Amino acid sequence: MTSITVDLKAVEMGLPMCLVFTAHGYVAHVGRTLSKITDGRPGAKLADFLRILHPAVEMDTADILTHAGRRLKVELVGECNIPEGEERSSFRAVVAPLVDGGAFMNFWFGADPLGAIQRHRLTAQDFAAADPTVDLLFVLEANSLVLGEFEGLSKRLDMARAAAEEEAITDKLTGLRNRRAMDLHLDSLTRQTGAHFGLMHLDLDYFKSINDTLGHVAGDYVLEQVAGILREEVRRGDMVARVGGDEFMLIFEDCQDVDLLKGIAKRIIYRLEQPMIWQGETCRISGSIGITMSSFYDPPEAERLVADADEALYVSKRAGRGRPSVATPSQAA
């Protein structure tokens, strides 16, 4: 047999995961890709570099070469980047004798190439151009791009859905919740055992005259100012909803104190009666308020609460406007 001398760098172009070890069982050369995977270096004992799992062999060169040309199952003793508690990567290898008594071994990934490739951050440049692993990497990259697009699309759809849901329960002019949101929230509260809350129905007094004399743009301005006042007078977590042109509903959770709500209502009315200036024109309004409490009912029903708060509101209207009225226990019986 004719022997030839081959530059290992040339060999690595086609076999970057090669290993050369001596007749005495010492590592002589580690391929460029293999060197990224393991901390083993030339000069190390072969037994400290790798372990042949199948077939069972003694870790000396002579015994290993009895299996020349055979598919070997191998693990690298010094494999890098192994998370704690995780097994080493599985490799396959084939060994061939060299004329000086040493051996040449080439490796490839076993059953889970993707895990090992990702763990060691290998790219197409780490493999021979004709290695099918390169095709696998291109497929992975393509899949990653497609997955990224799907994830981005999914996020955009989620954001669009959330925006649509928010829009469906928000009053466009004031940014407050709308009637639908109020109905859903009130229905939810009445279904909760032991929930205590107060309901306040506000109707703006003298608002129609602003629309009639100054126009709807002025009216919209006043409604926006009213929304700001109501936001400032409730606690975080209480709901303020615009349920009609100049009507608002306020729901106060975890509240059993009707006197507290009467005080809040008087404060709201006081602030509403302060002059609002729009383009040099003075806008004057007030508010009539009806109040009821969930504790008046056993059990509370959403429709009845709304009806009684509405009735209390009209008690305020008939009494001269600009005041709060409370649905009495006899009304709520």
Q: What are the pLDDT digits (tens) for 83-108? A: 777 788 889 999 999 988 999 999 98
AA identity, residue 292: T
Please identify every residue annotated as catalytic.
246
Among 160-169, 253-262, 317-326, where is mean pLDDT lowest?
A: 160-169
pLDDT at 139 over 90: no
| Residue that is written with structure tokens 């998370």 in the block | 83
Tens of pLDDT along 104-137? 999 988 767 777 888 888 888 888 877 777 676 6
pLDDT at 195 over 70: yes
pLDDT at residue 86, rounded to an integer = 79
| pTM of this structure | 0.57
CA angle 93, 102, 12 (to 5 degrees): 55
Non-local CB neighbours of 237 within 8 Å, separated by 6+ positions: 253
pLDDT at residue 157, rounded to an integer = 80
pLDDT at residue 97, rounded to an integer = 93
pLDDT at 333 over 60: no
Among 132-136, 243-247, 256-260, 322-326, where is mean pLDDT lowest?
A: 132-136
Q: At what angle are helices 216-233 and 258-272 packed, to 10 degrees?
A: 140
CA distance 317 to 205: 9
CA distance 41 to 28: 8
Between residues 82 and 47, the one the model is more confident about:
47
Tens of pLDDT along 236-246? 889 999 999 99
Closest CA to 250 of 262, 238, 258: 238
Between residues 216 and 7, the one the model is more confident about:
216
pLDDT at residue 332, rounded to an integer = 43
Mean pLDDT score of the chain: 89
- Go through the chain and tell me how many residues it has: 333
pLDDT at residue 93, rounded to an integer = 93
CA distance 19 to 27: 7
CA distance 99 to 118: 37
Question: What are the structure tokens assigned to 170, written together?
Answer: 């928000």
CA distance 114 to 5: 35
Q: Is the dihedral of CA 258, 264, 266, 268 positive or negative?
A: negative
- Percent of the residues in the chain that have a pLDDT greater than 70, as a whole number: 93
pLDDT at residue 140, rounded to an integer = 67
Among 85-89, 190-194, 208-212, 280-284, where is mean pLDDT lowest?
A: 85-89
pLDDT at 153 over 90: no
Under a CB-based contact definition with an 8 Å cutoff, are residues 72 and 94 in contact?
A: yes
